[in-house]
């Protein structure tokens, strides 16, 4: 294929939200990549926030961070996990960002004399952003997922842009996949096609014809239902693909492949489809994650635990690392706001490992400190991520170094012992959006450390999202008391990793390793953490037997 002539796939959603467009787009990307195509996936989000960085996780789930420091929708995490390819700022477009660019241009005078309007100015800016990835020459196929549901007022400019682009690209250079729901009415025992028909019609009213229907359903679609959907929605029969709930999201590509989904799409794009995909690695991974030999339980201690999507990348990283070790990782969701000295032993009873989650603000902080203390003293394998590492440092300073009032200045600006404090670069920052320490930063690992043996390298790169840091005034004292800074940013001297000597696994990382874990490349830190929890669970079993004897 010629450079710079990528084909475009647009994924829209109908009937209801939360049907899993991100998983369908990711599954398709994975299938096309397995056939030898270079693929990337982009998300268009219809909200007015410039990025989801300022959103409470309860609103929108986890905020995912790319290598180049974009704060994005959690779907970008799925794209990376399925494709094993980094995404970037260009993969994430929001209405807020589009308007921001257009308004900045207007203020600069770029449109001098003209009335600035949704069509053509906003739609042109959306178009420019869709084409950006294509212009890199790095991809054969760009999949663009349009957030929201067809018919929403706020997604109209995106739909109109897609209409224009399809026309500009010409025949066979783009395809529209429409994801809908076929509900089952148990009272009459019927699968209903009408919502899908209406949704396709709404799309048509905007000038877009769906080429392929992917239908979420709880029951297999009988032939006649498929035929009806094809006839009333104007698509070929073989272009109606059912998408049942899968045991694992990583099984979805195979459900779709069995119905020739990838072939249907490649035909629609006039691209060769004779190269058979190689699924060996994925099939082994799936088999191990669905039928593992071992099972362990990890407590995830955080404050957004009622919405599991808030920690999506962490639980997915558990799945990847767990499969590597033939182990199912069960998560016990522990709300840190409820943890006290008197209930911690009960709440964490029986878990084989503890993850102290990232977070912001002071709610639930005390519970996290109590959990860290419990884990440290009881030698339970523990990984602290970002705020989690900061918590470990506070707990250590209070209970080992004896600084009773040690704290982070995020929680207590007046603390006499600020073991965690605001980074210098943050001191004059007043705007909240996009101003944290973001994206990928280099970290140097101390020779002979656990971290160095895990990464098998001295220089690593991990992604960050925080304002506060370990205060180097306390570095020596920590070191002397065996909580050792083993990962340091070589340019700024910032402490990125703390690891406790003589503990099976007690490590805090200022970065977010979970963002880089994929099916093809599970994260070594998670693998090592799960391995430590597995050993802990085996030891517990041996001890229990010993006691009985
Ligand atoms: N609130 C902390 C900071 O800003 C930690 C952030 C996080 O856990 N992502 O430094």
Instruction: For residue range 95-144, list pLDDT tens digits in order.
Output: 999 999 999 999 999 999 999 999 999 999 999 999 999 999 999 999 99
Q: Which residue has the tokens 């929001």?
A: 94
Query: Residue 4 — very low, low, confident or very high, per pLDDT cuts 50/70/90?
Result: low
CB atoms within 10 A of CB 106: 14
CB atoms within 10 A of CB 464: 23
Is 61 a known ligand-binding residue?
A: no
How much of the chain exceeds pLDDT 90, in percent?
A: 88
Which of 417, 503, 512, 523 is labelled catalytic?
A: 512
CB atoms within 10 A of CB 188: 8
Mutational pocket test of ligand 1: of 314, 386, 408, the residue with most ligand atoms within 8 Å of the beta carbon:
386
Mutational pocket test of ligand 1: of 468, 470, 471, the residue with most ligand atoms within 8 Å of the beta carbon:
468
| Ligand 1 center–CA 466 separation, angstroms | 4
Is 30 a known ligand-binding residue?
A: no
Alpha helix stretches (DSSP H) within 222-270: 223-233, 252-258, 261-268
pLDDT score of 2 more than 70:
no
Tell me the torsion sign for CA atoms 490, 494, 496, 498. Answer: positive
Provide the pLDDT for residue 549.
47
At 225-254, the pLDDT tens digits run 999 999 999 999 999 999 999 999 999 999
Rounded distance, CA 521 to CA 455, Å? 13
| Ligand 1 center–CA 69 separation, angstroms | 15
Rounded distance, CA 379 to CA 373, Å? 10
| Ligand 1 center–CA 427 separation, angstroms | 15
Instruction: State yes or no: is 233 an active-site residue.
Output: no
User: In this predicted structure, which of 2-11, 69-78, 208-217 has the lowest mean pLDDT?
Assistant: 2-11
Which of 71, 386, 499, 531 is labelled catalytic?
A: 386
Helix (H, G, I), strand (E, B) or coil at 445: strand
Write the residue with the smallest CA distance to atom 1 of ligand 1.
360
Mutational pocket test of ligand 1: of 390, 420, 436, the residue with most ligand atoms within 8 Å of the beta carbon:
390
Is 467 a known ligand-binding residue?
A: yes
At 469-492, the pLDDT tens digits run 999 999 999 999 999 999 999 999
Instruction: State yes or no: is 514 an active-site residue.
Output: yes
Give the strand pairing for 468-470 and 418-422.
antiparallel
DSSP 153: G
Is 384 a known ligand-binding residue?
A: no
| Ligand 1 center–CA 90 separation, angstroms | 25
Beta carbons of 63 and 309 less than 8 angstroms apart: no
Tokens of 127: 């178009």
CATH (residue range 7-277)? 3.40.50.300
Q: Which positions ≥6 away from 509 have C-beta within 8 Å? A: 383, 384, 385, 386, 388, 389, 462, 487, 496, 497, 525
At 325-358, the pLDDT tens digits run 999 999 999 999 999 999 999 999 999 999 999 9
Output phi, psi for 484, to 5 deg: -100, 130
Which of 514, 523, 531, 536 is labelled catalytic?
A: 514
**Average pLDDT value for the chain:** 94
pTM for this entry:
0.95
pLDDT score of 268 more than 50:
yes
41, β-bridge pairs: 143
CATH (residue range 291-541)? 3.40.50.880
Which letter, b or e, does each residue of 329-339 get, where b requires 16 or more Cβ atoms within 10 Å of its Cβ?
bebbebebeeb
Task: Please name which of 294, 348, 301 lies closest in space to residue 322, comparing C-alpha atoms.
Answer: 294
How much of the chain exceeds pLDDT 70, in percent?
A: 99
Rounded distance, CA 13 to CA 27, Å? 15
Write the residue with the smallest CA distance to atom 3 of ligand 1.
466
Is 390 a known ligand-binding residue?
A: yes
At 197-209, the pLDDT tens digits run 999 999 999 999 9
Is 136 a known ligand-binding residue?
A: no
Segment 173-199 mean pLDDT: 95
Rounded distance, CA 363 to CA 62, Å? 18
Is 197 a known ligand-binding residue?
A: yes
Tokens of 217: 């359903």
pLDDT score of 443 more than 80:
yes
Beta carbons of 315 and 331 less than 8 angstroms apart: yes
In 23-70 the beta strands, taken as DSSP E runs, fall at 39-45, 64-65
| Ligand 1 center–CA 357 separation, angstroms | 10
| Ligand 1 center–CA 67 separation, angstroms | 17
| Ligand 1 center–CA 58 separation, angstroms | 17
Rounded distance, CA 31 to CA 169, Å? 23
Which atom, in ligand 1's list, is nearest to the CA of 465? 9
Which atom, in ligand 1's list, is nearest to the CA of 357? 8
Ligand 1 binding site (Cβ under 6 Å of any ligand atom): 358-360, 386-387, 410, 465-468
Which atom, in ligand 1's list, is nearest to the CA of 358? 8
At 485-531, the pLDDT tens digits run 999 999 999 999 999 999 999 999 999 999 999 999 999 999 999 99
Helix (H, G, I), strand (E, B) or coil at 301: strand
Provide the pLDDT for residue 434.
83
Rounded distance, CA 498 to CA 496, Å? 7
422, β-bridge pairs: 468
Instruction: State yes or no: is 443 an active-site residue.
Output: no
Rounded distance, CA 502 to CA 482, Å? 8
Segment 382-407 mean pLDDT: 98
Provide the pLDDT for residue 547.
60
Output phi, psi for 416, to 5 deg: -70, -20
Mutational pocket test of ligand 1: of 53, 56, 467, the residue with most ligand atoms within 8 Å of the beta carbon:
467
Which atom, in ligand 1's list, is nearest to the CA of 359? 8
At 58-81, the pLDDT tens digits run 888 999 999 999 999 999 999 999
How is the chain split into domains, by residue range? 7-277, 291-541
Q: Which residue has the tokens 């499969």?
A: 323
Helix (H, G, I), strand (E, B) or coil at 64: strand
């Amino acid at each position: 294929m010629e450079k710079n002539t990528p084909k475009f796939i647009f994924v829209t959603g109908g009937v209801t939200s939360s049907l899993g467009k991100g998983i369908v787009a990711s599954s398709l990307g994975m299938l096309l990549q397995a056939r030898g195509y270079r693929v990337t996936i982009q998300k268009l989000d219809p909200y007015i926030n410039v990025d989801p960085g300022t959103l409470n996780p309860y609103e929108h789930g986890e905020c995912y961070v790319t290598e180049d420091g974009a704060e994005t929708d959690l779907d970008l995490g799925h794209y990376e996990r399925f494709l094993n390819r980094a995404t970037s700022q260009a993969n994430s477009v929001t209405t807020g960002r589009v308007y921001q660019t257009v308004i900045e241009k207007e203020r600069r005078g770029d449109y001098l004399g003209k009335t600035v309007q949704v069509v053509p100015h906003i739609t042109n800016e959306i178009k420019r952003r869709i084409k950006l990835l294509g212009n890199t020459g790095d991809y054969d196929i760009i999949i663009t997922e349009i957030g929201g549901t067809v018919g929403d007022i706020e997604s109209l400019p995106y739909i109109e842009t897609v209409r224009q682009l399809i026309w500009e690209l010409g025949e066979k250079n783009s395809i529209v996949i429409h994801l809908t729901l076929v509900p089952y009415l148990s009272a009459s025992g019927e699968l209903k096609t009408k919502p899908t028909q209406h949704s396709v019609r709404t799309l048509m009213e905007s000038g877009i014809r769906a080429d392929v229907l992917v239908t979420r359903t709880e029951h297999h679609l009988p032939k006649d239902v498929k035929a009806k959907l094809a006839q009333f929605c104007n698509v070929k029969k073989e272009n109606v693909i059912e998408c049942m709930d899968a045991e694992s999201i990583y099984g979805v590509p195979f459900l779709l492949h069995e119905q020739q989904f990838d072939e249907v799409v490649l035909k629609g794009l006039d691209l060769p489809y004779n190269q058979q995909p190689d699924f060996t690695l994925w099939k082994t991974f799936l088999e191990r994650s669905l039928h593992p030999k071992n099972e362990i339980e990890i407590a995830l201690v955080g404050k957004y635990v009622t919405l599991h999507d808030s920690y999506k990348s962490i639980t997915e990283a558990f799945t990847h690392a767990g499969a590597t070790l033939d182990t199912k990782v069960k998560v016990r969701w522990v709300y840190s706001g409820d943890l006290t000295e008197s209930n911690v032993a009960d709440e964490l009873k029986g878990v084989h490992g503890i993850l102290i989650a990232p977070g912001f603000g002071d709610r639930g902080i005390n519970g996290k400190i109590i959990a860290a203390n419990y884990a440290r003293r009881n030698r339970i394998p523990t990984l602290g991520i970002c705020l989690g590492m900061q918590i470990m440092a506070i707990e250590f300073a209070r209970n080992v170094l004896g600084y009773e009032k040690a704290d982070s200045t995020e929680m207590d600006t007046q603390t006499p012992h600020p073991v965690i404090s605001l980074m210098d670069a943050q001191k004059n920052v007043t705007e909240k959006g996009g101003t944290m320490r973001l994206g990928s930063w280099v970290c140097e690992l101390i020779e002979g450390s656990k971290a160095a043996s895990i990464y098998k390298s001295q220089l690593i790169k991990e992604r960050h999202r925080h304002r506060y840091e370990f205060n180097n005034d306390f570095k020596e004292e920590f070191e002397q008391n065996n909580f050792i800074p083993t990962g340091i940013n070589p340019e700024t001297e910032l402490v990125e990793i703390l690891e406790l000597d003589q503990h099976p696994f007690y490590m805090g990382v200022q970065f977010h390793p979970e963002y880089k874990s994929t099916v093809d490349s599970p994260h070594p830190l998670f693998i090592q953490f799960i391995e430590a929890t597995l050993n802990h669970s085996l030891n517990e079993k041996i001890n229990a037997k010993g006691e009985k004897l």
